[in-house]
């Protein structure tokens, strides 16, 4: 059986791919119905197309009867895990840790600064040719709480350091100690939220984190606090968030929403104190070189039968 690798980046544009595999280009096409590049039964490694609709990403899964590795180009893998029943047992599912930290952390900081400093108001005033000064809070001297302290959460803290924040508190699923200080478990969130001026969500979407930011979570946030979401839209209860922002008690900067894409007419579009970007944490000029390096490393490991990086789970295990 030929060992094929389905790549969403043309193989001739990736230097360093190991010999011994047949590389086929497949990204689903513009309409999502692109023909498969070869026999799915021959595909050993499926690299999931990036920035494609969910039905396009998962369309090949039930046909990949001999696949050994599914490699996403996203940090989150919830779109694939939602179709685990279609995947044969023994398949290693790997995420793209190391690809999106820089660009997502940049956006988290951008959204935080833009919201605090009133940049949307200045843009609207510029469009109306009005010179309108205002007093806005600074990021300096603020307490920041990072919820989801993995690779992206750590990268966010790297970028917060030069801004003279008063304190960074870190939360993850399990308690641990880092060079920068303790990481608190999720169970300590209720006591940490009232002290935070800025809450940045970086957590992956799991059954535990789905709806984590509910009415109780938001009620514990201090008046005037800012919620920044660069995780997944479903981490936040949209109805509960709308109630808080429409009252003017908290602000929000959202790169992800639930539903997503946010449909025309949705009240989040015009809710006071809400800044929205269209899920653009990852797609920047930083993506392609890092994605290529990840693929070259993983495929060399695969050929040489070395442990793969970023294995999230093995199906059927």
Angstrom distance (rounded) from CA 48 to CA 26: 9
How many angstroms separate the Cα of 290 from the Cα of each of 15, 98, 101? 12, 7, 10
How many angstroms separate the Cα of 11 from the Cα of each of 26, 27, 86, 294? 10, 12, 27, 14
Is 279 one of the annotated active-site residues of the chain?
A: yes
Report yes or no: 298 and 16 within 8 Å, Cβ to Cβ: no
What would you report as the CA-atom Rg of the chain, rounded to the nearest whole angstrom? 21
Q: Where are the beta strands (DSSP E) in 77-197?
A: 92-94, 143-147, 167-172, 176-178, 181-185
Query: Edge to edge, what strands does the sheet with 181-185 contain?
Result: 176-178, 181-185, 167-172, 143-147, 198-201, 226-229, 251-254, 274-276
Beta pairing class for 181-185 and 198-201: unpaired
Token pair 């026999």 is at which residue? 39
Across-strand partners of 252?
A: 227, 274
Report yes or no: 61 and 39 within 8 Å, Cβ to Cβ: no
ω into residue 259 within 30 of 0, thus cis? yes
How many angstroms separate the Cα of 82 from the Cα of each of 78, 86, 100, 311? 6, 9, 22, 17
Query: Edge to edge, what strands does the sheet with 69-71 contain?
Result: 22-25, 4-7, 43-47, 69-71, 92-94, 311-314
Catalytic residue among 63, 66, 100, 279: 279
Residues forming the active site: 279
């Amino acid at each position: 059986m030929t060992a094929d690798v389905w790549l969403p980046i043309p193989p001739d544009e990736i230097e360093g791919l190991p010999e011994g595999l047949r590389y086929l280009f497949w990204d689903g096409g513009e309409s999502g119905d692109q023909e498969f590049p070869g026999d799915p039964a021959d595909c050993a490694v499926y690299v999931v197309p990036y920035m494609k609709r969910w039905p396009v990403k998962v369309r090949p899964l039930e046909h990949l009867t001999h696949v050994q590795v599914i490699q996403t180009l996203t940090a989150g893998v919830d779109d694939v895990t939602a179709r685990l029943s279609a995947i044969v047992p023994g398949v290693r599912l790997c995420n793209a840790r190391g690809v999106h930290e820089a660009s997502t952390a940049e956006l988290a900081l951008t959204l935080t600064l833009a919201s605090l400093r009133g940049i949307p108001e200045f843009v609207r005033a510029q469009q109306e040719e009005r010179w309108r000064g205002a007093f806005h809070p600074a990021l300096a001297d603020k307490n920041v709480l990072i919820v989801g302290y993995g690779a992206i959460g750590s990268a966010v803290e790297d970028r917060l350091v030069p801004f003279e924040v008063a304190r960074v508190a870190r939360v993850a699923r399990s308690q641990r100690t880092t060079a920068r200080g303790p990481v608190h478990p999720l169970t300590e969130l209720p006591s940490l939220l009232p002290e935070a001026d800025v809450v940045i969500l970086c957590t992956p979407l799991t059954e535990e984190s789905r709806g984590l930011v509910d009415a109780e979570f938001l009620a514990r946030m201090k008046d005037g606090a800012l919620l920044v979401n660069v995780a997944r839209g479903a981490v936040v209860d949209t109805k509960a968030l709308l109630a808080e922002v429409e009252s003017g008690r908290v602000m929000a900067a959202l790169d992800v929403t639930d539903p997503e894409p946010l449909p025309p007419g949705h009240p989040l579009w015009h809710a006071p104190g809400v800044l929205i970007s269209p899920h653009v944490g990852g797609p920047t000029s930083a993506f392609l070189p890092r994605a290529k390096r990840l693929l070259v490393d993983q495929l060399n490991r695969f050929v040489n039968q070395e442990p793969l990086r970023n294995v999230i789970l093995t199906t059927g295990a």
